[in-house]
Structures are given as structure tokens and as C-alpha cells.
A and B are shown apart, each in its own frame.
Chain A
């Protein structure tokens, strides 16, 4: 048994090593003074300096972030409402149909979604740029939020709602004081999923950017023809570190919340 667990630990370490290797490889070369990813010549911070001097690149990074935050916040609101609506549909067939339609949107290829948005936006006369990117990001994030929130809603026992109603809670109070707090973890999970989807989406964004508005994924992709410079390595390293900080922060917040809850129960 012991031997077995050692083996499984080794396997786990191996898997993580493989998953993280490319990222660390990229980070390592971001300090290379040589200018290529071939040989490490010496330590330098020049590439980081270049990132902060390249205003165009910085604007693109900020654009990417603002789109990610806004689109995932808005799609979380829409997605939660959608999930609530789906749970309150009583007829099984309608419910399944709605769920299937939602899943179709998740699995349909990004290229097709992107191309359809491009055609739609140009047809109804929305100028490509911030609005078009925001709208399409919201659109592909909503189904993801729905999928993340639904299990929490299903898991919630209906007696909770009944009890609240019996104690005189209005519909609004039931929603804000019982249902929403219960599904909060699901909502956050949905929000973060939407955030990552939006940050790394290339295919959809590619079709709907324009008029001077661009995001990081599109920009890096079009750099590929000339060879990607180490500035991109530096930038990716920074973004990776920020993501780690966010995840660690999120971890500690949930830890603390759990502890608080634990204490309350023991009382």
C-alpha cells in the first residue's frame, strides 16, 4: 500500500513537471541577454524594461484585462439569472432542451462563433472595436457561468426555500438571503472560468477586433511571422506571476471563510 502511494506521488510530480515545464522554460529565457530562446548568454532585465516602455503593448494588456473583467462580471450576472430560470422550469423536457442548447454553445468551435459574430456585427452596423469584443466575450462566457452555477442550485434542498417562505421571507429576501449566499461558491467559480476564457480567447476575438482595439492574444499571434521577441516572454512571466498571486489570494480567502464557518458550527 505504501509503495503504491509513493508511486502515485511520483506520477503526480511527473505530471505537474510536464505541465509547468514550458512555462518555466519561457520564464527562464525572459532573463536572457542573448535575444533568442536558443542559448542563455547572461542575466538581464532589459526585456522587462522594454515591456514597460512599450506603450502600445501596455495599452493592449490593459484592454485585455478590462475586457476580461467586464465581460466576466456581466456574463456572471446574466448566467446566474439564466441558471435560476432553468432550475425553476418545472417541465422536464423544456429543462433538458434549455440545458442542451446551453451545452451546444459551449462545445461549438470558437472559429464559427467568431465568424458569425463578425457577420452579425457588420450586418447590424456595430463598429468593430471595444463594444464588439465585449459583447462577443459576454456571449461565449454566459453558457460557462450557467454550467458552473447549476450544480449548486440543484444541490440546494428545496426545503431551505420553503422554510424561508414559512418564516415570512418575501420572494426578494429568499433570493438575496438564502439562494444567492448558498450558490456563492458556484458564482465565483463561474466568474473565474469566464475570466480565464476571456483572457486567453484568440479565435473569437480575432474576428471582432478592429479600429485600433486589440487584445494580447491577437497581438502575439500576429507577431509570429516576425518571430516572437523576448519581450513577450517577459510579459508572459509577469502575467503568470499575477495569476499565481490571484489564485493564492483566492485560496486564502476561501480558507478563512471555511474556518469561520467551522467555528460557527462548533458553537
Chain B
């Protein structure tokens, strides 16, 4: 009994010490109650220095919370119980959140820096008039390849993946829209195509790709490509920049037939408690020098025209991540196809996955 009591006393003492040190750490950062703002973002998706700067400039304390998928974030927001003031969903999630009434309209008069965003990235199909969302970062879907392993061949298009030389050398990201989009694009169709004949044609074409496909994988695709386990991989440009950061041999290309253009966006969820602060934060992130610093830290492409001008030439001049107007023209944003069509895409993708070599 004494032993048990001692153990419990020890636990209580340790807990108190921990509690005190948490408070100490919190207050050392100036975290006291009062004016706070909760940011709900992907892990490590903003430069921490910028958050410090924002806190100093406005006196608002920022709580940075992270999520790992759009779906998880939507669940948390729709359930309530937390007060997220700003969130950063991807574009397809925005139309869904809009439909579910999870977002509040933005007050553009409080966002004077909105003028810095490139007109190309405004007023897109998923949010006409940018009523609910402001682009945060953008990118493409393309091919990462290893020049050594494709024998010096230059990959420029989706159709290069069908080359018999590539037998068992290709990795695909596990996304129905991405892979189906690749099939549609390679045939010259739009990746938002809903024409049944075109979809079947795309699937039939994808089936002929199976001998070349080594695996269809999730996030581990980054590690596999960096470790040279495969010659080429279909990935998002954000992943590509990371993979190339780890293995400089690799190269990235946006296929010439066209591809997907994706966005992560800043929105204000309906759970927001500090709407004034949320607008302040969004406006702060749109400032040219802030956006530039953030783009350098995160490594994704910024939609901020003024920030692009400040960024070093080696970043802004990199056509792989800031493609020229001609390539951008061919890029398409995913439309919200509706539940039924999306299920159909998923089904076709599943059939492709099950197709025997």
C-alpha cells in the first residue's frame, strides 16, 4: 500500500512540475489569454518567423494547429467544439465546404492586399468572385523522373510514360482524379470530362499502361523516388520540389498535353471567433514581402504577383514550378463533378488498379 501511495504521490508531483513548466513556456512566448487567433493549417506550411512577426505587429496571439487531410479538417470544423479562425483547404474541399455551409463570406474591403494576387489565380471555378477563399499556394500535377534511369530520354508528355522502355519503372500517386486526369489528358480530353465514352476510352488507355506501372502508392512515393526505386513518378509539384530537394539528380516536368492546377486556399470557417483578426491575418499573408518569405520557406509556388517580383531569380525563374503562360493555359482546375460522377471516377480508377498486367 505504501508503495502504491508513493507512486501516486510521485505522479502527482511530476504532473504539477510539468503543468508549471508548460505554463512557463507559454508565458515565455507571451501567450496569455485575450486576443487570440487559431490557424488551422497543414503541418509546417507557414514560416514560424512570420507568425512571430504577425503577433508583434498586431498584438494578437496565434495558436497554430495542424491537420493532415482535407477530409479530417472538414470533419473537425463541421463538428464544432473548436474555434478555428483561418483554415487552408485545397480547392476541391472548398466547393464541398461551401455546399455544407462551413464557410463565411470574406469582406474584401478588409483585404486591400488582395490586389497583389495574380489575376490568373482569381475568380476560379471552385469559388467565383473569391467570395470565400483566397489562394495561398498553387501547383501542378506532373512527372518526376530520373534522367539516368530513362537512358537520357527527355520526358515531356504523358504519352512518354507509355513507352515500352519504361516497363515496370513508373510510380503513380494514389488519387482517382489524378490518374484518370492523366488518362484523359493523354488523349487530349479535359480532365473534368464527364462524357462516358471518353472516360471508357481513358480507362482502356490506362489499362495499357499497367505493364509500366511498378506501384500505386501514397505519401511514400516521395521517399521511393528520392531513393531511386523507380525511374518516374506522377506527383504533385509540391511533392516534386521536396523530392528534388532530397535528390538533385531528379527532374520535374509539367506534361505538354496539359495537367491539373491545384490550389491551397485561405478561408474563414463558420466556427471563427475572431473574424476581425482572421481578416487581418489573411491580409498580412498577402503582403508581398511576407508571401515571398513564406514561399521561400515552404517551397511551393506563390500566387502573389508582387512577391514573385521580390523572390530570387532562381526560384521565380524556375519554369518547372512557375510555368510560362503557354503551359499555364493548358492547366485545368478540378471542377466539382458531383457525388455521382466522382464515385464513377473512383470506380474506374479502382478497375484500373485491379487490371492485370
Instruction: Please give the residue numbers on chain A whose beta carbons come within 8 Å of chain B beta carbons, in ascending order.
Output: 36, 38, 55-56, 58-59, 62-63, 65-66, 69-70, 73, 118-119, 121-122, 126-129, 132, 176-177, 180-181, 184, 187-188, 191, 206-207, 209-212, 214, 218-219, 221-227, 229
Contacts and interface: CB of A to CB of B under 8 A. Distances in A.
6 contacts: A59-B22, A70-B11, A127-B82, A177-B1, A222-B68, A227-B246
A206 B43 contact: no
Contact of B22 (A66, A218, A219): A66
Contacts of A118: 75, 79, 81
Given A38-B246, A59-B25, A222 B67 contact: yes
A69 B11 contact: yes
Contacts of B7: 188, 191
B264 to A, nearest CB: 10
Given A127-B82, A223-B43, A176 B1 contact: yes
B45 A226 contact: yes
Of all A-B residue pairs in the complex, the 5 with the closest CB atoms, nearest first, are A210-B82, A222-B66, A212-B63, A222-B43, A223-B43
B65 A66 contact: no
Interface stretch (B12-20, B140-148, B311-319): B12-20
A209 B45 CA distance: 19
A62 B222 contact: no
Contact of A56 (B4, B19, B64): B64
Interface string B54-68: 000000000111111
Given A66-B18, A184-B4, A210-B65, A225 B83 contact: no
Contact of A226 (B1, B26, B42, B246): B42
Interface residues of B, number: 46
Given A55-B25, A69-B11, A227 B18 contact: no
A69 B222 CA distance: 36
B53 interface: no
B68 A224 contact: yes
Given A184-B3, A214-B66, A226-B45, A128 B82 contact: yes
Interface in B25-53: 25-26, 28-29, 36, 38, 42-45, 48
A172 B236 CA distance: 66
Given A121-B81, A187-B4, A210-B76, A58 B25 contact: yes
Contacts of A187: 4
B21 interface: yes
Given A121-B81, A209-B65, A224-B219, 4 more contacts: A118-B75, A128-B81, A188-B7, A224-B43
Interface of B: 1, 3-4, 7-8, 11-12, 14-15, 18-19, 21-22, 25-26, 28-29, 36, 38, 42-45, 48, 63-68, 72, 75-76, 79-83, 219, 222, 226-227, 242, 246-247, 298
B26 A69 contact: no
Given A38-B226, A222-B67, A70 B15 contact: yes
B79 A119 contact: yes
Contacts of A211: 38, 63, 82-83
B79, B81, B219: which has the most chain A beta carbons within 10 Å? B81
B263 to A, nearest CB: 15
B1 A180 contact: yes
A66 B227 contact: no
A63, A66, A191, A210: which has the most chain B beta carbons within 10 Å? A210
Nearest to A210: B82
B22 A223 contact: no
B182 to A, nearest CB: 21
Contacts of B67: 222
Contacts of B75: 118, 207
A62 B81 contact: no
A248 B38 CA distance: 41
Given A128-B81, A188-B7, A226-B242, A212 B65 contact: yes
A82 to B, nearest CB: 16
A78 B62 CA distance: 37
A66 B76 CA distance: 24
B26, B29, B66, B227: which has the most chain A beta carbons within 10 Å? B66
Contacts of B38: 211-212
A104 B81 CA distance: 28
Nearest to A59: B25
Contacts of B43: 219, 221-226
Nearest to A253: B3
B28 A181 contact: no
Contact of A55 (B28, B45, B66, B80): B28
B224 to A, nearest CB: 12
A161 B45 CA distance: 61
A38 B227 contact: yes
Contact of A62 (B21, B28, B63): B21
B81 A225 contact: no
Given A66-B18, A210-B65, A225 B4 contact: no
B79 A62 contact: no
Nearest to B219: A224
